[in-house]
């Protein structure tokens, strides 16, 4: 039953409230409730996320405690099946010793408010995976407008334009405001999700599971999150992407086995690796254009 109908069902004497009509009072109350509800749903500015150690798959204790702060990109590496997605899932649900790993996640140093764990809107975490896709039958700009308006942004048009520009800059193939969401390629969809999560979503933590094959400019995507002060955790098998964070977690047998901070020597190696990667991308492009490999190879400068 809505508020106006409830008010109408009350005895007449109780409705005499100095000039308020049932409708205007119900409207006011509804606005008040909505405002409180929206305020309660907004995650406060996050200062830190701590991941307290749990147990490996064999039950042995995990050795590392992790302290993550806004603007930090943490990469997660490890063999297939080692537990990278489990770690992301623990963060996504703000685990409290109630997942197979028994990890606990603290928000600003304390156990999180249960509503941040269980209400979709109030969650602190946005997640982007290789398998995600849009199912709405809307044009890109209409979707972004809906999101901007639901966030009650003052200049929704400007916000939509910024997300669209960032998404197009990240995607290999350009697309426009009028492109239907369902016609975006995998890479374009991922680019739009990343730009939306970075620039429109209030969620302070972003989890990314394998975006490497999506045709997205990954360096640009990560910078967008860092500029917005998000905490980013990125699980990957791609060596260049694995080296792009401030820290790298090595997962083995279900537990964080090592935490590596990139040394200056490693950063230099990473730059050389990036040059190899560009050469390989050039070869790939030449093959796509139908060039013989030896001709493309002769232009390479390692
Ligand atoms: N600490 C743990 N305790 C118990 N089970 C675990 C633990 N860590 C991971 N697992 C389980 O091991 C299985 C494989 O883990 P997960 O899917 O996270 O691996 P992954 O590293 O993401 O693999 P891939 O690279 O193939 O995606 C899952 O069923 C997961 O729930």
Q: What is the pLDDT of residues 158-204, one digit of tens each?
A: 999 999 999 998 887 889 999 999 999 888 888 899 899 999 988 99
For 79-185, where are the alpha helices, taking DSSP H only?
Answer: 84-92, 114-118, 140-150, 156-170
Do the Cβ atoms of 234 and 210 come closer than 8 Å?
no
Please determine, for residue 153, whether its predicted confidence score (pLDDT) is greater than 90: no
For 88, the 3-state DSSP assignment is helix
Do the Cβ atoms of 152 and 144 come closer than 8 Å?
no
Q: Which regions of the chain does DSSP assign to beta strands (E)? A: 49-52, 66-68, 73-77, 104-107, 125-129, 205-209, 231-235, 247-252, 255-261
Q: What ipTM was assigned to the predicted interfaces of this complex?
A: 0.98
pLDDT tens profile 10-35: 444 344 444 444 454 455 444 444 44
Please determine, for residue 219, whether its predicted confidence score (pLDDT) is greater than 60: yes
Ligand 1 centre distance from Cα of residue 242 (Å): 18
Please determine, for residue 135, whether its predicted confidence score (pLDDT) is greater than 90: no
Ligand 1 centre distance from Cα of residue 102 (Å): 13
161 pairs with which residues across the strands? none
Average pLDDT of the segment spanning 45-55: 95
Please determine, for residue 231, whether its predicted confidence score (pLDDT) is greater than 90: yes
- Lowest mean pLDDT: which of 40-44, 190-194, 239-243, 251-255? 40-44
Whose alpha carbon is nearest atom 24 of ligand 1? 80
User: Taking the CA atoms of the chain, what radius of gyration do you get in angstroms?
Assistant: 24
Average pLDDT of the segment spanning 202-211: 87
What's the chain's average pLDDT?
Answer: 83
Mutate to test the pocket of ligand 1, among 86, 87, 233, 256 (most ligand atoms within 8 A of CB): 86
pLDDT at 25: 46
pLDDT at 1: 44
Please determine, for residue 132, whether its predicted confidence score (pLDDT) is greater than 80: no
For 296, the 3-state DSSP assignment is helix
Ligand 1 centre distance from Cα of residue 87 (Å): 8
Atom of ligand 1 nearest to the CA of 78: 21
Atom of ligand 1 nearest to the CA of 210: 27
pLDDT tens profile 247-285: 999 999 999 999 999 889 998 998 898 888 888 888 988
Distances (CA, A) of 233 to 84, 170, 175: 10, 19, 28
Please determine, for residue 5, whether its predicted confidence score (pLDDT) is greater than 80: no
Which residues, other chains included, contact 140 with Cβ-Cβ below 8 Å and sequence gap of 6+? 164, 167, 175, 176, 177, 178, 179, 180, 181, 184, 192
- Residue of 74, 54, 4, 9 lying closest to 241 (CA atoms): 74
Mutate to test the pocket of ligand 1, among 55, 80, 81, 210 (most ligand atoms within 8 A of CB): 81
- Lowest mean pLDDT: which of 127-141, 193-207, 209-223, 254-268? 209-223
Ligand 1 pocket list (CB less than 6 A): 55-57, 78, 80-86, 100-101, 254-255
Ligand 1 centre distance from Cα of residue 63 (Å): 17
Please determine, for residue 291, whether its predicted confidence score (pLDDT) is greater than 80: yes
Atom of ligand 1 nearest to the CA of 89: 18
pLDDT tens profile 75-86: 999 999 999 999
Ligand 1 centre distance from Cα of residue 90 (Å): 11
CA atoms within 13 A on the CB side of 90: 27
Ligand 1 centre distance from Cα of residue 31 (Å): 45
| Percentage above 70 pLDDT, the chain | 82
Tokens of 62: 């995990």
| 51: phi then psi, degrees, rounded to nearest 5 | -115, 110
Strand order in the sheet with 66-68: 66-68, 49-52, 104-107
More confident residue, 214 or 112: 112
Average pLDDT of the segment spanning 123-145: 85
Average pLDDT of the segment spanning 123-139: 83
pLDDT tens profile 91-109: 999 999 999 999 999 999 9
């Amino acid at each position: 039953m809505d508020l106006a109908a409830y008010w109408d069902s009350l005895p007449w004497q109780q409705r005499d409230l100095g000039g308020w009509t049932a409708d205007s009072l119900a409207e006011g109350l509804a606005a008040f409730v909505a405002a409180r509800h929206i305020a309660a749903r907004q995650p406060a500015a996050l200062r830190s996320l701590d991941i307290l150690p749990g147990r490996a798959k064999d039950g042995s204790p995990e050795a590392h405690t992790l302290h993550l702060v806004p603007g930090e990109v943490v990469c997660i590496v490890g063999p297939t099946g080692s537990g990278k997605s489990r770690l992301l899932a623990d963060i996504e649900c703000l685990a409290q010793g109630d997942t197979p790993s028994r990890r606990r996640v603290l928000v600003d140093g304390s156990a999180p408010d249960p509503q941040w764990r269980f209400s979709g809107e109030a969650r602190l975490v946005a997640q982007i995976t290789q398998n995600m896709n849009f199912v709405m039958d809307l044009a890109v700009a209409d979707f972004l407008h809906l999101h901007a308006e639901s966030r009650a942004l003052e200049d929704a048009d400007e916000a939509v334009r910024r997300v669209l520009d960032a998404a197009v800059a990240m995607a290999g193939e350009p697309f426009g405001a009028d492109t239907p969401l369902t016609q975006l390629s995998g890479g374009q969809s991922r680019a739009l999700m990343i730009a939306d999560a970075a620039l429109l979503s209030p969620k302070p933590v972003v989890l990314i599971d394998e975006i490497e094959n999506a045709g997205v400019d990954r360096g640009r995507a990560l910078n967008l999150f860092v500029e917005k002060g998000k905490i980013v955790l990125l699980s990957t098998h791609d060596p260049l992407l694995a080296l792009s964070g401030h820290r790298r977690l090595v997962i083995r047998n279900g537990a964080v086995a090592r935490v590596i901070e990139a040394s200056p020597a490693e950063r230099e190696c990473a730059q050389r690796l990036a040059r190899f990667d560009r050469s390989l991308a050039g070869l790939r492009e030449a093959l796509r254009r139908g060039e013989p490999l030896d001709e493309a190879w002769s232009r390479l400068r390692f």
